[in-house]
Structure 1
Amino acid sequence: MEDSHQHDHHHHPDDTHDHPPSSSPPTTGTCCKCGGPTTFAPPMPTPIFSPPPTYRPIRAPAIPPDPNSTRAIILSPVPQPQKVPILPPPYDFHTPTKRIHSPDDIRRFHDSFSGKNFLGFVVALSESIRGRKISDQCHESPTILAVLSILETLTLFADETPPVPQSARYGNVAYRTWHEKMSNSAESLILKLLPENLRPATVELVPYFADSFGNASRIDYGTGHETNFAAWLYCLARLGVVGEEDYPALVARVFVKYLDLMRKLQLLYCLEPAGSHGVWGLDDYHFLPFIFGSSQLIDHKYMKPKSIHNEDILENFSKEYLYLACIAFVKKVKKGVFAEHSPMLDDISGVPNWNKVNGGLLKMYKAEVLEKVPIMQHFLFGSIIKWE
């Protein structure tokens, strides 16, 4: 896999812009993306990111990414898939606790077996869906069907819990009622997935599951909650409840269903984005579907990263490709010029191929989600996902 990053086209002086050849003599024009001349490579910009000219964030001020950390992400290796070994008995299931409080703790987690293996699991999920459409046939085990049934139950809870009239734009308090129903049912729902000898594992599985759908007191949702859902799936893999043959279905069936549920909750209860980067983030709520979605599109004959600007493609293919579905959703909920409200996604659309996009996003997920103390300070550690 190529070791690159989604902003390569802005950062590497040897890159050229993708402009069609012309039979007339070359003239210097200005690239609408970065302002560089189109007949030769744009000069290396001094700050790696230049702020969008007119966009002013409505809520929290947008902080441009630190150029040093951006450079570090670009130079870091692309994370590789790993096999998930099944947890051997005797078991020592216990209530998981928070252990991350500082950058040192983050480093310790990433150097640990669980830290490396969890990221390797996410990469393996991404690899499993490579070049596949959502509707493609895949192995659907009884466990996969049971997980889908759980998500269906939570969707029904939302249908039974309409938002209440209130003046605040964000954070409808009816979400707390939904969250309580979900939390109260979590253990009985999860027990359906487990054989008799693994039933005590609910003490660890329930907290990851309950943290997957947002925070009830803040009425918000973000990439940390999404990571908890991935951690819950990782725990099922560690327990041997799902195997590698289930990975394509974990993405194309389970994760797609989870995403549908989360979008429903976001729109229904106006969930606040948790720790949003504002205009500098990839998306206010999600990260993983961009990783899985870019993997789906690797080596696609027609669709390139720049295809996200084609409305016909978004309309016709967003049901088959997660990345396109994410872009369509962003365009639905954010009004205005795409390059202004989503400069990061607009930047990525200039990368030459999906392989580079996928590798860059995996590196970015590690750096921007799994290595950030404000996100990972809420993450839990027990006997399945060990602290060290």
Structure 2
Amino acid sequence: MSAPPLDAGAKNLLVDKLRQLPARTTPAPAQAPTAPGPVDPFDGAREPEVVRHPTFSDARPRKRIVTQRHLDHFHHGTLFAEILGMLRAGNEAVRGKKLTDPVDESAEVQALMAIVDRIRALVDETPRDTDSASVSRFGNPAFRTLHEKICHAADGLMEGIPGLAGPEHARARQELAVYLQESWGNAKRIDYGSGMELNFLCWLLCLVKLGILDLKRDAQSLVLRVFWNYMRVMRIIQATYWLEPAGSHGVWGLDDYHFLPFLWGAAQLMDHPYLRPKSIHDPEILAECAPAYMYFSCIQSINLVKTESLRWHSPMLDDISGVRTWNKVNQGMIKMYRAEVLLKLPIAQHIFFGDLLSFGAWDEDDGPIVEDEHGHRFAADDCHSHGHGHGEGQAAGWGDCCGIPIPSVFAAAEQKASGRAVRCIPFD
């Protein structure tokens, strides 16, 4: 889905255009925020602690967040701080770095790349259900077959990671498999959203806590190689099986599916001498910069499948393009991720907690818990609220909740390209 490279003449024209942009000036000193909140967007972050001699129970990781009280407990716990620490390590490691820059890849990182590549091969081996695709723009049922293949292959794939091979590490692989399997979408709903993306981050966090990955050594390659490879495969999966967005946030969100490439993508651009946030509106700059920068690549992907302009279908991205510096964009993305992903109940209720990623001590009796067909957990005596409170969902912002099903934008783009009449909706 990437654009073809520019020829020499077009590239020279682009370079001239970039040089004509105003030179970057020294940013003004940071001023105190006008609203309550931490000055440091990574306030409270801590480096993940390595568990030297992990012990595992027989229980598999499970969801624990049901109510706002659970979410508050998670907010003040160790895991929340360590997730922020993962985000911070990646953010600092890719500042000023291109996707095309040479990166040292440890044997462990190479093993993770091989896992993502194998899942990409499983997509090739699992064709779309053409009968369903001919009558529906919603998720294709063949995705369930792919997801089942991923689940069956997960243990064998992770045996290839140094430090996880052999029967002595079978329980560790079983714990990690939950996060890996949940990273590729929901097989029941045939959808994908920022909660699944968060599970991929949690999978990497588990490997850090096991001492298999070293953030000081691997952070840069984890973002520029492993995560970006995961992103590319997820785009293929979304396009192949027409995954629905996991939630009805639509135009309230950054992107139908992803958040982290905008956060880390802004970090890549913070020290760029010419590129500005408004550069996303220039087609020539976008075509030249997409192979090197996650942020531009994501904008390009949106433009390839959606009609009209960003102002219509992605007004938040359009508004962000008016910010003067990438540093402010990056800080805003971090604050937004905290508030709208990690601390948004419709998303946080899908986080899995186990022996490595612990929920922490919880002494209160929650009573019987029920899980509905969408995977939401709620107290049995609160069947009407479904665990995410009144007023949450679509209008709540980046709500990774079931909401109203939205047809896949990839389906609309593909059908339109084939000459079929497609009645577009605002999210297209």
Q: Hey, what's the Cα distance between the residues in 2 that align with 1:363 and 1:90?
A: 32
Q: Hey, what's the Cα distance between the residues in 1 that align with 2:36 and 2:146?
A: 38
Q: What is the match of residue 236 of structure 1?
A: 207
Q: What is the match of residue 216 of structure 1?
A: 187
Identity %: 44
Q: Hey, what's the Cα distance between the residues in 2 that align with 1:73 and 1:276?
A: 29
Q: What is the match of residue 375 of structure 1?
A: 347
Is the CA contact (8 Å cut-off) linking 2:60 and 2:174 kept in structure 1?
yes
Q: Hey, what's the Cα distance between the residues in 2 that align with 1:117 and 1:123?
A: 10
Is the CA contact (8 Å cut-off) linking 2:158 and 2:165 kept in structure 1?
no
CA 1:73/1:143 → structure 2, altered by over 3 Å: closer, same or farther? farther
Q: What is the match of residue 153 of structure 2?
A: 185
The residue matched to 2:56 in structure 1 has which SS?
coil
The one-character-per-residue Cα deviations of 1:53-103 (angstroms, maximum 9, x if unpaired) are: xxxxxxxxxxxxxxxxxx968776411553222113252354111110012
Moved over 3 A (4+): 71-77, 195-199
Of 223, 227, 251 in structure 1, the residue corresponding to residue 198 of structure 2 is: 227
Is the CA contact (8 Å cut-off) linking 1:82 and 1:124 kept in structure 2?
no
CA 1:344/1:198 → structure 2, altered by over 3 Å: closer, same or farther? same
Q: What is the match of residue 221 of structure 2?
A: 249
Of 58, 65, 80 in structure 2, the residue corresponding to residue 100 of structure 1 is: 65
CA 1:110/1:340 → structure 2, altered by over 3 Å: closer, same or farther? same
The residue matched to 1:367 in structure 2 has which SS?
helix
Q: Hey, what's the Cα distance between the residues in 1 that align with 2:265 and 2:278?
A: 14
Of 66, 72, 77 in structure 2, the residue corresponding to residue 112 of structure 1 is: 77
The residue matched to 1:233 in structure 2 has which SS?
helix
Q: Hey, what's the Cα distance between the residues in 2 that align with 1:152 and 1:162?
A: 17
Q: What is the match of residue 239 of structure 2?
A: 267
Is the CA contact (8 Å cut-off) linking 1:171 and 1:220 kept in structure 2?
yes
Q: What is the match of residue 122 of structure 1?
A: 87
CA 1:342/1:74 → structure 2, altered by over 3 Å: closer, same or farther? farther
The one-character-per-residue Cα deviations of 1:295-323 (angstroms, maximum 9, x if unpaired) are: 00002011011110111111011011000
Is the CA contact (8 Å cut-off) linking 2:276 and 2:326 kept in structure 1?
yes
CA 1:262/1:145 → structure 2, altered by over 3 Å: closer, same or farther? same
The CA deviation at 1:142 is 0.9
Are 2:276 and 1:313 aligned? no
Q: What is the match of residue 87 of structure 1?
A: 51
The CA deviation at 1:188 is 1.1
Of stretches 164-173 and 282-291 in structure 1, the one that deviates more from structure 2 is 164-173
Q: Hey, what's the Cα distance between the residues in 1 that align with 2:39 and 2:169?
A: 38
CA 1:330/1:89 → structure 2, altered by over 3 Å: closer, same or farther? same
Is the CA contact (8 Å cut-off) linking 2:56 and 2:171 kept in structure 1?
no
Coordinate RMSD, CA, aligned: 1.8
User: AA paired with 1:85?
Assistant: E
The residue matched to 1:122 in structure 2 has which SS?
helix
Alignment map for 1:276-287 (pairs within 5 Å): 276-287=248-259
The one-character-per-residue Cα deviations of 1:307-363 (angstroms, maximum 9, x if unpaired) are: 101111110110110000011111111101211111100011011111111111011
CA 1:238/1:131 → structure 2, altered by over 3 Å: closer, same or farther? same
The residue matched to 1:213 in structure 2 has which SS?
coil
Are 2:127 and 1:162 aligned? yes
TM-score (norm 1): 0.79
Of stretches 266-275 and 130-139 in structure 1, the one that deviates more from structure 2 is 130-139
Query: Gaps spanning 5+ residues in structure 2: where?
Result: 1-20, 23-33, 361-428
Q: What is the match of residue 351 of structure 1?
A: 323
Is the CA contact (8 Å cut-off) linking 2:194 and 2:259 kept in structure 1?
yes
